[in-house]
């Protein structure tokens, strides 16, 4: 009997020895130095509420990829749904949408310098001058004004109120042309708002199409907006996706290109560095001149059933980068094409790569 | 994959309607009825009233070849005041995925997803008709007297859908005492208070039982935030919860062989949904309220010419979810304000009869009706749908030889006039050594799981043409019981292999919303081992339970919707190894209980690539409790001090959701 007790107690103590084995300090760090490297950051959203967003860096010359570069430098994850990134005055600003913050890092070492809090659901940033920047937001019905020196929110530009339906107006991309800032409102919405840079208030609005997802400007300082048309059952409506060109001076819609089918899937858009061509995605990648009056017939690069999420052009070489989320539950992929559409490279990044930032 | 569905459906990345995703999240978070459990005092004398005859213990437990485990009353009592999910984690290979202390807990059984585990409470199916899942954190053990786990095909006696298995929670009458009162009060860390009252009254033929419980917790534990620079110590916020419930049972047994029962219970849970460790959101409102109401009337009769069972039950599952963020104007404005009600009416008729002394035949028929309404205020969207279900199952149990038992079951169901494939199971049990009780079991079954109402009708994305998921399972096992020198040893080893076709997985549509698709083939296979020992050396009473399971659940053919490398990879969130040990030592009036649980690492992506995406590290958890019972005549005053997370580990079971360190609670129990 006693032997049995001893036996069981031994089993117990062996098991107890496993205790304290959970190692939650699992993010190893390694120093990062991007000085002298020309490359592009890829912001990987991760899965909503998983907190597995990440940042990848691709060196354009050596073609080397560093994945999870923020966590490697800092030992902590960026957060939940990292959305966009910008580099300004030697610092990187990483907007993390569902963590409600913007992490500020050193552009070479990726070391964390500070975090801007107090942002409900930040999306994109626009730098006004050396001290101020605007941050668009999905739910706040307004744009936050931040002081980039103190990293504090110093003001807000209301873009809606509880009097409007849904949570209008959400704000997404911001483009500054002269004394006007244009911002698209996509969520259950169809407007582009115009904000005066002097008063920092909304002065005008332009109706485009249902769900204007993204905006870019061309060399004529006109703005291209892609509307994805909504979806079946959308309480705001459902129409064919379209591409719309706005004259930034007259604030009128100059041209409207409607995609042929209700079920067409309009994706990201981008201009080339010269600003005279527009790339857009509709199952495949298409290229058109900004002076074209009709959508191109044939595609530029075949989509081959990929989930294209983000697209950007290299400001120096005009090469095209497109991200593919694949199955949304594993590493995504980025494809690099030359300006004439020839594939140059492709590499794996983090989960759901969404946007690019060239340094 | 349903087990992944909460986060997948929630993937509100950019280009879609983020709000729609939150609505679906709210619907998936919808919990169901709370199984309520009352603890029966651990008496030295066992009542010979044979409570089991009248209990709603699953019929399958007596059938040959099926694997059924009953979690004994000792374990239920140790866990009084703790939730059902902890009880399951420690006493079975079921993997419980919990979002935090008091937060949503879903299960995964034999490599399948959360909606593939059927849960019955007093005979009523409490899986949500919308999501197919059960939130185990909503089931207080105060309202449960009996918890049984039916593995794999054993669940088919109760209908389809249990591709992994079935958990049955029952409240039973205690005919041993005319009047009895049990009071429980517990106090614990993080301002956790729990009160429960259980009163029983009646005669030998008519009995009533009333139960009530209330539990609140601020849940404001401190933790080391490893997701922020400097790894600061922070206090968990907005994770508070308040749960309460009331239950009334009435039992009438006019004759020794028949009983009519009526049970009514209501539970409500209000809780905050805390942000991730990496989040900085201030001044948000993120709250969920679940309400569940159930009523069931049942009649059972055991006669020479057959046994009858008839029951009718009504169930209402309500979920309200609110998300508010700070607006540019400085006030909080709603981003999501959703509410859903799911009504179900369940009716079952069962009959079985011993036609020859070695042959029993029987059938069970169901007729159920569901109607669901859900709406969201900010987007002004609403959906409403109805579904009726009919089912019939027939079974044969035969014992053609002294040592051989066979069971055969066949059934068919119809949902809104769409009939499903035939479900069938065959199992056999052979007794090798009667004295040693060495038994071998084997079974083959074809079960299916009909798409849920969300799968079929959710707007946007629902697909009314989805095919039902089909599971073809083979299992075999050996069980051995020995009783050397007054102790009892039981060892059981079993292996299973399932092929699940048309597995439903929610994937993002390019328009941004999510939609369910049938994945062609998932293979789930594994090994389960259980050991249980009870012995009484001297004045001690020792009880040891151990379980281990090895589960490989992989996508074999996704029809191109997943990346090519996903083939052959473990499905996310299903651990390959899962083990648990639970020991109980009793000496006179003292009791010491210790439990240890382990889950191996879990992948969070379809590619399982540890070099690019971190998996969830392995989980080891130790809990201990010390109890003392003071008996005065027939009354009992008991004390129990629990220490959870004995070694004060800092850990997460869901990425970036903190868990509390070592925490204490004291339970005082009075039974009159």
The pairing of strands B165-170 and B117-121 is: parallel
* pLDDT on residue B491: 94
SS3 B85: helix
| Cis ω before B460 (30° cut-off from 0) | yes
As given in the structure block, the two tokens for residue B142 are 């105060």
Hey, of A109, A327, A333, A355, which one would you mutate to test binding to chain B, going by the most B CBs within 10 A of its CB? A327
pLDDT at residue B70 is higher than 50: yes
Is residue A19, in this structure, part of any structural domain at all? no
Task: Compute CA distances B520 → A152, B424, B470, B562, whole Å.
Answer: 51, 21, 10, 11
Interface test with B, best of A3, A120, A184 (most B CBs within 10 A): A120
Is the domain covering B17-671 a CATH 2.40.37.10 domain? no
Contacts A–B by Cβ distance under 8 A:
252
**Which carries the bigger pLDDT value, residue B666 or residue B460?**
B666
Average pLDDT over residues B142-165: 92
Contacts for A193 with CB less than 8 Å, ≥ 6 apart: A159, A169, A171, A182, A183, A185, A202, A204, A205, A206
Which residues of chain B from 226 to 245 reach within 8 Å of chain A, CB to CB? 226-229, 231
Distance from CA of A183 to the nearest CA of B (A): 16
Quote the DSSP letter at residue B659.
-
Q: List chain A residues with CB under 8 Å of B598.
A: 18
DSSP-based three-state secondary structure for B656: coil
pLDDT at B30: 32
Q: What is the CATH number of the domain that holds A286?
A: 2.130.10.10
Counting as low any pLDDT under 70, the low residues of chain A are 1-21, 23-26
CA dist., res. B126 & res. B315, Å (int): 8
Distance from CA of B532 to the nearest CA of A (A): 12
Of A19, A22, A52, the CB nearest to B655: A52
Among partner residues B17, B381, B612, which is closest to A67 by beta-carbon distance? B612
Q: Which residues in chain B touch residue A167, judged by CB atoms under 8 angstroms apart?
A: 19, 333-335, 378
Q: What is the mean pLDDT of residues B56-81?
A: 65
Who among A12, A22, A47 is closest to B583 (CB)?
A12
B contacts of A138 (beta carbons < 8 Å): 18
The gap between the terminal CA atoms of chain A, to the nearest Å, is 73
CA–CA separation, B616 and A24 (whole Å): 9
Between B340 and B15, name the one with better pLDDT.
B340
The verdict on a CB contact (< 8 Å) between A20 and B650 is: no
Whether A14 is in a domain gets the answer: no
What number is the average pLDDT over the span B531-557? 92
- Lowest pLDDT segment from A20-24, A149-153, B370-374, B668-672: A20-24
Task: Name the residue of chain B whose CA is nearest to A238's CA.
Answer: B511
Distance CA B453, CA B504 (A): 13
Token pair 């080891």 is found at B620
Confidence at residue B9, expressed as pLDDT on a 0 to 100 scale = 31
Give the domain ranges of chain B: 17-671
Q: Is B439 on the interface with A (CB under 8 A)?
A: no
Asked if the structure places residue A281 within a domain, the reply is yes
B83-135 tens-digit pLDDT: 788 888 888 888 888 888 889 999 889 999 999 999 999 998 999 999 999 99
Kindly state whether residue A7 falls inside one of the protein's structural domains: no
| Chain A residues within an 8 Å CB radius of B542 | 5, 8
Q: Which of A50, A163, A184, A189 has the highest number of chain B CBs within 10 A, making it the mutation to test binding with B?
A: A50
Interface contact A52-B613, CB threshold 8 A = yes
- Give the predicted TM-score (pTM) of the model: 0.88
User: Cβ of B281 and A161 within 8 Å?
Assistant: no
Range B621-631 average pLDDT: 93
Residue A163 belongs to domain spanning: 40-358
| B17 CB within 8 Å of a chain A CB | yes
Taking an 8 Å cut-off on Cβ atoms, the answer to whether B656 and A51 are in contact is: yes
Helix (H) or strand (E) holding B370: strand B359-376
- Whether B328 and A309 lie within 8 Å, measured CB to CB: no
Contact call for residues B572 and B603 (beta carbons, < 8 A): yes
Residue A289, Cβ density class (10 Å: 0-12 exposed, 13-18 middle, ≥19 buried): exposed
- Candidates A4, A330, A334, A355, partner chain B, best to mutate (most B CBs within 10 A): A330
Percent above pLDDT 90 for chain B:
62
- CA distances to B60, B269, B438, B452, B531 from B130, rounded to whole Å, are 27, 19, 43, 6, 37
Total residues belonging to chain B? 672
Check: CB of residue B372 under 8 Å from CB of residue B453.
Answer: yes
Average pLDDT along chain B: 85
Q: Could you tell me what percent of chain B has a pLDDT over 70?
A: 89
Whether A95 maps to a domain, the answer reads yes
Number of domains in chain A: 1
Contact residues on chain B for A234, CB-CB shorter than 8 A: 17, 460
Angstrom CA distances, A165 to A160, A169, A219, B380, B537, stand at: 9, 9, 36, 9, 73
3-state helix, strand, coil in chain A (%, to 5): 5, 45, 50
A332 touching chain B per CB within 8 A: no
Residue B275 φ/ψ region, left for φ over 0, alpha for ψ in the -120 to 50 degree band, beta for the rest: beta
A-interface mutation test, from B7, B9, B12, B15, most A Cβ less than 10 A away: B15
> Residue A329: inside a domain, yes or no?
yes
CA distance A248 to B596: 67
Structure tokens belonging to residue B605: 């992506």
ipTM field: 0.89
Q: What is the pLDDT of residues B395-413, one digit of tens each?
A: 999 999 888 999 999 999 9
Burial class (CB in 10 A: 0-12, 13-18, 19+), A264: middle
pLDDT for the residue numbered A12: 59
């Amino acid at each position: 009997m006693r032997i049995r007790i001893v036996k069981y107690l031994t089993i117990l103590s062996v098991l107890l020895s496993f205790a304290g084995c959970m190692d939650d300090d699992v993010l190893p760090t390694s120093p990062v130095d991007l000085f002298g490297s020309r490359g592009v950051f890829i912001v990987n959203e991760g899965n909503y509420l998983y907190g597995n967003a990440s940042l990848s860096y691709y060196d354009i010359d050596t073609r080397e990829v560093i994945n999870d570069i923020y966590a490697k430098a800092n030992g902590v994850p960026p957060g939940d749904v990292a959305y966009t990134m910008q580099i300004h005055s030697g610092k990187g600003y990483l907007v993390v949408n569902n963590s409600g913050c913007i992490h500020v890092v050193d552009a070479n070492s990726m070391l964390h310098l500070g975090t801007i809090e107090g942002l409900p659901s930040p999306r994109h940033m626009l730098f006004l001058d050396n001290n101020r920047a605007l941050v668009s937001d999905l739910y706040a019905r307004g744009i936050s004004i931040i002081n980039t020196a103190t990293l504090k929110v110093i003001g807000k530009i209301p873009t809606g109120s509880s009097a409007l339906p849904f949570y209008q107006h959400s704000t997404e991309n911001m483009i500054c042309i002269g004394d006007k800032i244009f911002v698209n409102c996509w969520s259950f919405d169809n407007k582009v708002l115009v904000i005066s840079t002097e008063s920092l208030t909304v002065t005008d609005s332009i109706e485009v199409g249902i769900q204007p997802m993204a905006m870019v400007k061309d060399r004529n300082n006109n703005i291209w907006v892609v509307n994805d048309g909504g979806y079946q059952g959308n309480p705001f409506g459902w129409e064919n996706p379209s591409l719309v060109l706005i004259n930034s001076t007259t604030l009128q819609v100059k041209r409207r290109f409607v995609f042929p089918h209700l079920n067409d899937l309009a994706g990201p858009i981008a201009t080339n560095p010269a600003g005279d061509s527009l790339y857009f995605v509709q199952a495949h990648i298409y290229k058109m001149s900004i002076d074209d009056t009709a959508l191109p017939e044939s595609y530029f690069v075949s989509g081959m059933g990929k989930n294209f999420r983000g697209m950007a052009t290299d400001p120096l070489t005009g090469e095209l980068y497109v991200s593919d989320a694949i199955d949304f539950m594993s590493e995504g992929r980025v494809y690099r094409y030359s300006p004439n559409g020839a594939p140059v490279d492709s590499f794996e990044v983090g989960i759901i790569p969404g946007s690019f930032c060239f340094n | 994959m349903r087990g992944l569905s909460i986060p997948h459906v929630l993937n509100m990345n950019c280009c879609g309607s983020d709000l729609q995703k939150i609505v679906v999240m709210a619907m998936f978070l919808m919990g169901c009825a709370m199984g309520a459990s009352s603890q029966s005092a651990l008496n030295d004398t066992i009542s010979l009233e044979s409570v089991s005859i009248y209990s709603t213990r699953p019929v399958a437990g007596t059938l040959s070849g099926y694997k059924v485990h009953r979690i004994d009353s000792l374990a239920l009592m140790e866990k009084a005041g703790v939730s059902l999910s902890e009880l399951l984690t420690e006493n079975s290979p079921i993997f419980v995925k919990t979002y935090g202390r008091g937060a949503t807990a879903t299960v995964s059984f034999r490599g399948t997803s959360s909606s593939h585990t059927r849960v019955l409470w007093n005979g009523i199916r409490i899986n949500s008709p919308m999501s197919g899942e059960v939130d185990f954190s909503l089931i207080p053990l105060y309202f449960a007297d009996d918890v049984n786990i039916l593995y794999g095909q054993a669940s088919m006696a109760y209908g389809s859908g249990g591709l992994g298995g079935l958990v049955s929670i029952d409240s039973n009458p205690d005919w041993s005492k005319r009047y009895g009162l049990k009071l429980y009060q517990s106090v614990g860390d993080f301002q956790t208070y729990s009160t429960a009252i259980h009163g029983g009254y009646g005669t030998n033929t008519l009995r009533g039982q009333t139960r009530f419980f209330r539990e609140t917790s601020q849940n404001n534990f401190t933790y080391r935030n490893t997701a922020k620079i400097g790894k600061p110590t922070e206090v968990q916020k907005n994770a508070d919860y308040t749960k309460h419930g009331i239950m009334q049972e009435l039992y009438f047994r006019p004759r020794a062989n028949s009983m009519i029962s009526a049970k009514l219970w209501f539970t409500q849970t209000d809780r905050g949904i805390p942000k991730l460790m990496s989040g900085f959101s201030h001044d948000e409102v993120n709250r969920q309220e679940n309400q569940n109401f159930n009523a069931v009337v049942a009649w059972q009769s055991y006669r020479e010419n057959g046994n009858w069972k008839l029951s009718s039950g009504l169930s209402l599952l309500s979920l309200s979810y609110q998300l508010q963020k700070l607006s540019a104007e400085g006030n909080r404005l709603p981003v999501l304000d959703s509410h859903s009600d799911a009504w179900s009416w369940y009716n079952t008729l069962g009959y079985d009869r011993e036609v020859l002394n070695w042959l029993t035949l029987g059938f069970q028929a169901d007729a159920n009706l569901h109607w669901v309404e859900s709406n969201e205020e900010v987007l002004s969207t609403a959906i409403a749908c109805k579904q009726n279900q009919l089912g019939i199952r027939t079974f044969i149990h035969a014992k053609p030889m002294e040592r051989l038992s066979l069971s055969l079951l066949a059934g068919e169901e119809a949902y809104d006039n769409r009939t499903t494939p035939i479900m069938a199971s065959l199992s056999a049990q052979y007794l090798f050594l009667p004295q040693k009780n060495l038994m071998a079991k084997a079974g083959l079954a074809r079960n299916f799981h009909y798409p849920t109402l969300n799968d079929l009708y959710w707007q946007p994305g629902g697909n009314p043409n989805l095919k039902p998921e089909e599971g073809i399972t083979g299992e075999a096992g050996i069980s051995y019981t020995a009783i050397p020198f007054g102790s009892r040893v039981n060892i059981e080893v079993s292996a299973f292999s399932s092929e699940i076709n048309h597995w439903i997985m929610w994937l993002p549509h390019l328009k941004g919303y999510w939609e369910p698709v049938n994945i062609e083939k998932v293979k789930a296979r594994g090994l389960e081992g259980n050991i249980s020992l009870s012995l009484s050396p001297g004045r001690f009473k020792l009880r040891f339970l151990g379980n281990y399971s090895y589960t490989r659940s992989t996508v074999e053919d996704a029809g191109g919707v997943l990346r090519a490398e996903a083939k052959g990879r473990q499905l996310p969130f299903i651990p390959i190894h899962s083990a648990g040990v639970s020991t109980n030592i009793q000496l006179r009036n003292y009791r010491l209980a210790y439990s240890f649980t382990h889950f191996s690492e879990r992948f969070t992506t379809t590619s399982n690539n540890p070099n690019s995406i971190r998996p969830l590290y392995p989980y080891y958890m130790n809990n201990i409790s010390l109890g003392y019972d003071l008996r005065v005549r027939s009354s009992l005053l008991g004390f129990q001090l629990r220490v959870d997370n004995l070694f004060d580990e800092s850990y997460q079971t869901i990425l970036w959701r903190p868990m509390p360190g070592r925490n204490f609670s004291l339970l005082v129990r009075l039974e009159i």
